[in-house]
Amino acid sequence: MADKVFTVLDLLDLDLKGHNSLNLRCISGRKGLVRRISIPDLNRPGLALSGFYDFFAYQRCQLFGKGEIAYLNKLLQEHNEDNIRQLFTYEIPCCIFTRNLEPPKEFIELSDEAGCPILITDLESTEFSTRLLRVLSNIFAPVKAMHGVLVEVYGLGIIIFGSSGVGKSETALELIERGHRLVAVDIIELRCVNGNTLIGKGANQVISHHMEVRGLGIINIGQLYGVGAIRDQKEVQLIVQLEEWDTSKSYDRLGTETNTMEILGVKIPKLEIPVKPGRNVPIIIETAAMNERLKSMGYFSAKIAEVVDYEELEGYLKDLKEYYCFAEDEGKGIRRVSVAKKNHKDEEIFSFRMVAEPDSFGKWKIFSIEREGKE
């Protein structure tokens, strides 16, 4: 993060639109626009203005709202400028005033002397803080470039990896033909935002939607299929590794194990799909995307039924002295049983999907046990 060179002038030059717009303008201290912003965070300098400069976060942008403005005016009325002068002895990146609030004349003069830029925005303090932190987190996020194809399938961001010639581009082309969208081809720039979200986009935005197909050459997906077939960036939620079919390798045939791949500290579910003539890989990826969405909703298609006895079921209910029990037949010999505490709307709910009748040993087959909305 410290190696990232980002100045106040870069902040003013950002081309942000819509809900990301910061609406910033500089009113003084322009010679300090080259000051670096090294930490993607804000600081409210109320304590510093009161004279407490221990642990003062001067490396951050200083945000002034209505409270700070009122306190500044009070200090100036009392002819107490020492705390304000001490503020500018630190190498502050910039001071930002919200709500179009004009700083006092004396404050502007002191900032000009120190070469500290003063910026003004018409946004409220809370809204501006949210926008600026979102922008800075994207700018200072860790970045990694990887070779592959990033597509959006049923709203899910999927990266297709594989060795050269395995069929990544052809698979992506078939997915686009089926109505899905292309995000990036060849070099994908992956950015870790907020420490737990992986955002992917093309490393070169000019050619990110151009695809090279052997025997055909370079094609422009946006022009061929329209703007509805492309998008600029997408969160990565699934990784598909294409590989040549290896007869000596054992592939997962149940889907009960969850493999992951860690990129920039974020673990992403990963599937290994063997490729050979006759296998329709695009359909497999579509199915994988829908199955992944089902998993996010708490339903695992490959989960094998467990066998538990009635005493084990009672263990789930031992703390419930009074409860309601609801049963509903789902058909095909399956019954859903839900249990909720009496007179407690927000208490935990147990839900069982089980066979309608016990077996000859007096045991029930439980297909899923949900507690607090999770399996």
Q: What is the pLDDT of residues 134-174, one digit of tens each?
A: 999 888 989 999 999 999 999 999 999 999 889 899 999 99
Confidence of residue 4 (pLDDT cuts 50, 70, 90): confident
Closest CA to 269 of 261, 278, 281: 261
- In a domain, residue 2? The reply is no
The span from the CA of 155 to the CA of 208, in Å, is: 19
Residue 261 has pLDDT above 80, yes or no: yes
Per residue in 56-109, pLDDT (tens digit) is 999 999 999 999 999 999 999 888 888 899 999 999 999 999 999 999 999 999
- In a domain, residue 238? The reply is yes
Domain termination site, one of 88, 120, 139: 139
What counts of helices (H) and strands (E) characterise the chain? Answer: 10, 20
Query: In the chain, how long is the greatest CA-to-CA distance?
Result: 91
Q: Output the DSSP codes for 1-47.
A: -TT---BHHHHHH----GGG----EEEE-GGGTT-B--SS-EE-THH
pLDDT value of position 45: 94
The answer on 287 and 152 residing in a single domain is: yes
The span from the CA of 264 to the CA of 236, in Å, is: 12
The answer on 283 and 160 residing in a single domain is: yes
Strand bridging mode 259-263 / 181-193: unpaired
The answer on 281 and 325 residing in a single domain is: no
Mean pLDDT computed over 236-248: 92
The span from the CA of 77 to the CA of 84, in Å, is: 13
Confidence of residue 16 (pLDDT cuts 50, 70, 90): confident
Residue 294's Cα: distance from chain center in Å?
19
- The b/e string for 58-67 (b: 16+ C-beta within 10 A; e otherwise) is bebbbbbbee
Here the CATH number for the domain that contains residue 157 is: 3.40.50.300
Residue 175 has pLDDT above 90, yes or no: yes
* Domain count of the fold of the chain: 3
More confident site: 295 or 220: 220
When the pLDDT of each residue in the chain is averaged and rounded to a whole number, the result is 83
The answer on 321 and 266 residing in a single domain is: no
The answer on 111 and 29 residing in a single domain is: yes
- The b/e string for 130-156 (b: 16+ C-beta within 10 A; e otherwise) is ebbeebbbeebbeeeeeebbbbbbeeb
pLDDT value of position 310: 47
- In a domain, residue 3? The reply is no
Mean pLDDT computed over 186-212: 90
The answer on 37 and 180 residing in a single domain is: no
- In a domain, residue 128? The reply is yes
Per residue in 321-374, pLDDT (tens digit) is 555 555 666 665 556 666 665 555 545 455 655 555 555 544 545 455 455 443
The answer on 271 and 155 residing in a single domain is: yes
- In a domain, residue 179? The reply is yes
Per residue in 301-328, pLDDT (tens digit) is 766 444 444 455 555 555 555 555 556 6
The answer on 128 and 227 residing in a single domain is: no
Domain termination site, one of 267, 296, 325: 296
- In a domain, residue 105? The reply is yes
The answer on 113 and 184 residing in a single domain is: no
Percent of the chain with pLDDT over 70: 79
The answer on 284 and 261 residing in a single domain is: yes
pLDDT value of position 114: 92
The answer on 260 and 221 residing in a single domain is: yes
- In a domain, residue 1? The reply is no
Q: The domain containing residue 44 runs over which residues?
A: 8-139
356's tokens: 């309608």
Rounded to two decimals, what is the model's pTM?
A: 0.70
Catalytic residues: 147, 168, 186, 253
End-to-end, the C-alpha distance of the chain in Å comes to 39
Domain termination site, one of 296, 327, 359: 296
The answer on 94 and 34 residing in a single domain is: yes
pLDDT value of position 305: 45
343's tokens: 């007179």
- In a domain, residue 62? The reply is yes
Residue 42 has pLDDT above 80, yes or no: yes
Q: Which residues touch 185 (CB under 8 Å, ≥6 apart)?
A: 149, 150, 169, 172, 202, 208, 209, 210, 211, 212
Backbone region of residue 100 per phi and psi (left: phi > 0; alpha: psi in -120 to 50; beta: other values): left
